[in-house]
Structure 1
């Protein structure tokens, strides 16, 4: 009769083993809030929400509080080496722009501020 080797115990997971949540840093928030302030002054946006999860940080902007977000500004560090960790996603889930530079990615939303003068 052959003996099976002993099975090592499964290690318990500690909070220190879990990846940290992704958040926007101070410089990123300054860029986002600068655009947000201009859009509020133009009457386009009225509310926002921020979420930090293990793989993504989201800054969602709303026209009204009780609606789904008009746009989501996302930071996904896992995509840093690929197409870029910043993205602007529309209400329907379409990625409007993705890139490595947050200010350049947000320019897609700044076009909303340019209006013809009657």
Structure 2
């Protein structure tokens, strides 16, 4: 995900797939990597400070949940990428021309909902 490091992206993937709050230990277990508990704690703390996750204290541990869906995060990343290029209209036109029929239909639906 744009703006996230490799471990941050992996932790977000765990949280998005979970569909409910997860503790550091649960995220660590689901990452299935040889990482220290404190490493995952630091990653989740960074995500919290960046606004990607909310945390709630339950008993002695924090539980983490995403503050936005994977789709919202991807849309925000696309928006940031468009802001970084010199010709966002050109990028959108190239994307539209290369989009599959299913993608074009999804865009049409989205534009109809907005209107």
> What TM-score does the superposition give when structure 2 sets the normalisation length?
0.23
> What TM-score does the superposition give when structure 1 sets the normalisation length?
0.23
> Which of the two has higher C-alpha Rg?
1
Greater fraction strand: 1
Question: Which gives a bigger RCO, structure 1 or 2 (Cα 8 Å, sep 6+)?
Answer: 2
